[in-house]
């Protein structure tokens, strides 16, 4: 941890930290480390370390109220050496309530998606997030399941129908993003969804969903 934090600190800038904290509207501290530099810090500090070490370090880093350390905690577990098994999935699920913005959730999406692809039965857990009172948990139901736009979209489309009237901008944006990705290879299915469930959608969702649809 000492090596990793020292490497992170060497890439930090106060100007970037202030800008990111304002942009993310984050309650956490910010160090201003660019994401590519987080990966450099990981490579410099953890070469040859075990998966058990990566998990222990990720758990310790996440407990610190620092945005950059939460980001790097997830990136530690996104490496190829970490299998998308129950241990990794549990790490994701246990931290959903901590999310306070889109960036950390999106950073987590690749790891979460790999776990869902490895065992689609985990979608049963995600379905429970659709009715969560926590904005970022609801949103994760769509961000984490983007690969299903190329697989079997019907289950997630059902969630989108349930939340079509959700007043939160980030939920509307996420639904539109999901539909936009689906439209790239199944535009007719998106049109049917909009015909059947599009009335409650806000403008941002409709604009995203129709971005690639032929006029």
pLDDT in tens, 172-203: 999 999 999 999 999 999 999 999 999 999 99
Q: How confident is the model at residue 22 (pLDDT cuts 50, 70, 90)?
A: very high
Q: How confident is the model at residue 215 (pLDDT cuts 50, 70, 90)?
A: confident
Q: What is the pTM of this model?
A: 0.93
Mean pLDDT of 117-143: 98
Question: CB within 8 A of 130, min separation 6: which ones?
Answer: 138, 141, 159, 162, 163
Q: How far does CA 24 lie from the centroid of its chain?
A: 14
pLDDT the model gives residue 7 = 95
Q: How confident is the model at residue 35 (pLDDT cuts 50, 70, 90)?
A: very high
pLDDT the model gives residue 47 = 80
> Tokens 């535009």, residue?
187
């Amino acid at each position: 941890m000492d090596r990793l934090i020292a490497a992170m600190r060497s890439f930090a800038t106060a100007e970037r930290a202030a800008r990111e904290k304002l942009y993310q509207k984050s309650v956490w501290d910010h160090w201003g480390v660019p994401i590519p530099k987080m990966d450099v810090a990981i490579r410099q500090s953890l070469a040859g370390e075990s998966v058990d070490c990566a998990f222990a370090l990720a758990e310790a880093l996440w407990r610190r109220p620092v945005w950059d350390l939460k980001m790097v905690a997830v990136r530690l577990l996104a490496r190829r050496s970490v299998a998308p098994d129950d241990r990794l999935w549990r790490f994701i699920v246990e931290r959903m309530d901590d999310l306070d913005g889109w960036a950390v959730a999106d950073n987590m999406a690749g790891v979460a998606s790999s776990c869902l692809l490895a065992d689609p039965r985990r979608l049963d857990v995600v379905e429970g997030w659709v009715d969560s009172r926590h904005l970022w948990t609801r949103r994760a139901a769509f961000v984490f399941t983007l690969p299903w736009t190329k697989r079997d979209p019907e289950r997630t489309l059902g969630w989108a129908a349930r939340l079509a009237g959700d007043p939160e901008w980030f939920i509307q944006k996420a639904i539109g993003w999901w539909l936009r990705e689906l439209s790239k290879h199944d535009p007719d299915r998106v049109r049917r969804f909009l015909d059947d469930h599009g009335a409650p959608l806000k403008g941002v969702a409709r604009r995203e969903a129709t971005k690639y649809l032929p006029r």
